[in-house]
Amino acid sequence: MSFLEIKAVSKAYQKGNEVVHDFSLSLEKGKVLSLVGESGSGKSTLLRIVAGLENKDSGKVVIGDLEVQNPNERLVPGYDDVQLVYQEYQLYPNSTVEENIARPLIQYDKAYRKERVAHLLKMLRLEPFKDTLPRNLSGGQQQKVAIGRALSLEPEVLLLDEPFSSLDGIQRRELIGELKEIFESLRVTVLFVTHDLDDALQMTNDLAIMQGGKLIQRGAPEDVFSKPNNMYAAKLFSHLNELPGKDKTFVRPSDLEIYKSKGLSAKVVDKQYLIHFDQLTLQLKDGTIWKAEDKKRSFKIGDRVYLKWLEKNEISF
Ligand SMILES: Nc1ncnc2c1ncn2[C@@H]1O[C@H](COP(=O)(O)OP(=O)(O)OP(=O)(O)O)[C@@H](O)[C@H]1O
């Protein structure tokens, strides 16, 4: 049963220019969804609407029994049950980690507050830093404090708006791995917005793709990979090689097999060492440039190669 429902939401900052267009999405309680989209596709606007911090022009956002109202309909915008964490999220600079996490609980019973903060510090592995000021923490630790603060009120929904984009790749991967376990154990419903497909996939295998304010596709990564709804969704995963003589039909580099004879002839014009394979840049006879993955690292620049692929792996739009 769905818990978070975004129903036909639209929003324009300027008349006639919708940045979120008829957007619908639902998510079950305790599940995590990654929403991927390029810069300017309307992701932040959508999250702010879900949090009740931005006015929508039409549509509905429902969380359990709660219908999220626009900020212009409420005295105090936003809801304790829906917390938003973003990249520039500000911690209190002169308060310790413990004080930062405890701050939203200021009106709660002291014993509960103490217990809740101790639990979060432990879960986020921030206990050794509880008396530290934010400026003396790494970027990843600071973001964990921000997430701890957002979780302190036991929200039903956590909205993450690119909260890790200032961190390096290793830090991001470790942090996402840690948080994934925490979200599962807390059964909090999470909408994770990112422009990075790798981050999205590290977090969950439920993927939604947004482009130009619209939901382009939702599903398991392997389904989006093999049956993308449009070029943007397809290209998120890899380069696409356009098949000569077939209209708008493509094959992925990873679906090509490279032989020393028989197949579509091409010449290796460049080679890049990547982690799992050499990426070959190939020139076909008609001059078209393709990419291929040489997993055995057996070809070099100047070689003539022959390519084959299975018809079922061709992608057409
Ligand atoms: N307060 C605002 N007033 C006017 N236009 C805005 C406002 N906020 C965002 N926009 C515009 O709306 C569009 C969508 O922006 P939004 O920040 O929602 O996208 P995004 O996908 O989150 O992008 P990014 O990843 O760069 O943050 C952009 O063209 C942006 O310039």
CA neighbor of 189 nearest in space, from 52, 53, 2: 2
Residue nearest to atom 17 of ligand 1 (CA): 44
- DSSP code for 209: E
Asked if residues 35 and 43 have their Cβ atoms less than 8 Å apart, the reply is: yes
User: What are the backbone angles phi and psi of residue 188, rounded to the nearest 5°?
Assistant: -85, 145
If one residue of 15, 43, 84 were mutated to test the ligand 1 pocket, choosing by the most ligand atoms within 8 A of its CB, it would be 43
E-state strands within 183-298: 189-194, 207-211, 214-219, 241-242, 249-251, 257-259, 264-273, 278-284, 289-294
- pLDDT of 114 reads 94
Q: Give me ligand 1 centre to Cα 46, in Å.
A: 10
Query: What is the atom index within ligand 1 of the atom nearest the CA of 161?
Result: 22
CA neighbor of 47 nearest in space, from 194, 149, 188: 194
**Quick one: 73 exposed, middle or buried, by C-beta within 10 A (0-12, 13-18, 19+)?**
exposed
The ipTM of this complex is 0.96
Asked if residues 196 and 173 have their Cβ atoms less than 8 Å apart, the reply is: no
pTM of the model: 0.92
- pLDDT of 299 reads 97
Helix ranges (DSSP H) in 124-255 = 139-151, 169-186, 197-203, 221-226, 231-237
Could you tell me what percent of the chain has a pLDDT over 70? 100
Q: Give me ligand 1 centre to Cα 205, in Å.
A: 26
Query: What is the atom index within ligand 1 of the atom nearest the CA of 213?
Result: 14
| Cα 93 from Cα 88, distance rounded (Å) | 13
For 276-296, write each residue's pLDDT tens digit: 999 999 999 999 999 999 999
| Cα 204 from Cα 194, distance rounded (Å) | 12
- pLDDT of 72 reads 94
pLDDT at position 303 over 90:
yes
CA 279 to chain CA centroid, Å, is 25
Q: Is the domain covering 2-231 a CATH 3.40.30.160 domain?
A: no
Residue nearest to atom 12 of ligand 1 (CA): 19
For 240-260, write each residue's pLDDT tens digit: 999 988 889 999 999 999 999
- pLDDT of 88 reads 75
| Cα 111 from Cα 58, distance rounded (Å) | 43
Helix ranges (DSSP H) in 34-109 = 43-50, 97-102
Average pLDDT over every residue of 149-163 = 94
For 163-222, write each residue's pLDDT tens digit: 888 888 888 899 999 999 999 999 999 999 999 999 999 999 999 999 999 999 999 999
**Confidence category of residue 17, pLDDT binned at 50, 70, 90:** very high
Q: Give me ligand 1 centre to Cα 206, in Å.
A: 24
If one residue of 35, 44, 46, 54 were mutated to test the ligand 1 pocket, choosing by the most ligand atoms within 8 A of its CB, it would be 44
- pLDDT of 193 reads 96
For 41-89, write each residue's pLDDT tens digit: 999 999 999 999 999 999 999 999 999 999 999 989 999 999 999 877 7
Domain range list for the chain:
2-231, 241-316
With H, G, I as helix, E, B as strand and everything else as coil, classify residue 292. Answer: strand
- pLDDT of 171 reads 85
CA neighbor of 31 nearest in space, from 283, 203, 232: 203
Query: What is the atom index within ligand 1 of the atom nearest the CA of 162?
Result: 25
- pLDDT of 224 reads 96
Residues with CB under 6 A from ligand 1: 13, 19, 37, 39-45, 195
The sign of the CA dihedral 176, 217, 230, 250 is: positive
Within 13 Å, how many C-alpha atoms sit on residue 65's CB side?
0
241-316: CATH superfamily: Nucleic acid-binding proteins (2.40.50.140)
Query: What is the atom index within ligand 1 of the atom nearest the CA of 45?
Result: 18
| Cα 128 from Cα 199, distance rounded (Å) | 27
Residue nearest to atom 31 of ligand 1 (CA): 40
- pLDDT of 214 reads 97
For 99-145, write each residue's pLDDT tens digit: 999 999 999 999 999 999 999 999 999 999 999 999 999 888 999 99
Average pLDDT over every residue of 213-240 = 96
Helix axes 139-151, 169-186, angle to 10 degrees: 20
Asked if residues 72 and 46 have their Cβ atoms less than 8 Å apart, the reply is: no
